Amino acid sequence: METHLALEADGAKVYTHEVFKEFQEEAKYSIDTCKSRGFAEIDSLEVTTVRDASRDMNYDVTYCPVTYKANCSCRMLERKGILCRHIIWIYSSNGVNTIPDEYIVNKWCKDALRSKSFNCNGDPAEEIDIIDAKQISMSKMWSEVHRTVGILMGRSKEVVDSFSSLIKDFKEKLAPLGSQMSKEQQMVALIGCSNTQEVTIFPPKKSKNKGSGKRLLLSKTKAIALAMKPKRMFYLIRTTLY
């Protein structure tokens, strides 16, 4: 850690290495360059004008002490999915030690899980031509499960056990809907046809591949090949001398 901020330590538990480096820079700038230049209360919201010396600009940060929601006019949270130095400064001033779950983007986390994404109309973001409503609903449900499990990372054991008990209760409620499919039923659902007892296709007969065996030569063929074989030099010299 390079600062005394609890938010920096919380970001180290949540974010990946590269994202945390950027978040750490914002945490350092929040201490070195940010100061208050104005304060106002509007209903239940606190609006603070934060002076950023590194950029020589003022930014308005809206903060709700009840829900811990914050919004900054620099729009870094909306653009990059990371808390800006101005919101970090406001959180530190108000004793907020952890990053709110709603401001943690799943793809920036260490335990991010791949899941299908959909636009605001419920259409898949990937290039898919044919997809039914059930598949969209199932993908949305998986996305919610992955996001919820990601939120539990870094939480206490009591919170994880409480969520696990809820899952078990929900699983018991789903039990009357039907039992799990057998292996044969899974194969039928995957292939799209049922198993048949009549076998019409058999494996081919075993045959020798090219070069797997040698053809036996006749004695006459062997004698001709032996006669055509070049003689050794010693044999030629002895024949010439005698």
pLDDT of 15: 93
How many CA atoms within 13 Å lie on the side-chain side of 113?
13
How long a stretch of residues is the chain?
A: 242
136 Cβ partners below 8 Å, 6+ apart? 118, 122, 123, 124
Q: What pLDDT, in 10s, does the model give residues 167-180?
A: 888 777 766 655 56
Q: Is 173 among the domain residues?
A: yes
CA distances from 88 to 84, 135, 236 (A): 6, 40, 102
Q: Is 40 among the domain residues?
A: yes
Q: What pLDDT, in 10s, does the model give residues 87-107?
A: 999 999 999 999 998 898 888
> Under a CB-based contact definition with an 8 Å cutoff, are residues 23 and 7 in contact?
no
Model confidence band, residue 144 (pLDDT cutoffs 50, 70, 90): confident
Q: What pLDDT, in 10s, does the model give residues 48-82?
A: 999 999 989 999 999 999 999 999 999 999 888 99
Distance CA(25)–CA(83), nearest Å, equals 11
CA distances from 181 to 65, 70, 185, 186, 213 (A): 51, 48, 6, 6, 50
Q: Would you say the pTM of this structure is higher than 0.75?
A: no
The residue range of the domain holding 159 is: 113-178
> Under a CB-based contact definition with an 8 Å cutoff, are residues 6 and 98 in contact?
yes
> Under a CB-based contact definition with an 8 Å cutoff, are residues 25 and 53 in contact?
no
Distance CA(166)–CA(131), nearest Å, equals 31
Same-domain pairing of 2 and 94:
yes
Same-domain pairing of 84 and 165:
no
Q: Is 211 among the domain residues?
A: no
Q: What pLDDT, in 10s, does the model give residues 101-129?
A: 889 888 888 877 655 555 544 555 554 44
Domain end, chosen from 140, 155, 178, is at 178
Number of separate domains in the chain: 2
> Under a CB-based contact definition with an 8 Å cutoff, are residues 116 and 126 in contact?
yes
Mean residue pLDDT across the chain: 80
Distance CA(150)–CA(161), nearest Å, equals 15
Distance CA(51)–CA(41), nearest Å, equals 18
How much of the chain exceeds pLDDT 90, in percent?
A: 36
Lowest mean pLDDT among 21-25, 162-166, 185-189, 202-206: 185-189
- Mean pLDDT, rounded, for 153-177: 77
Same-domain pairing of 84 and 130:
no
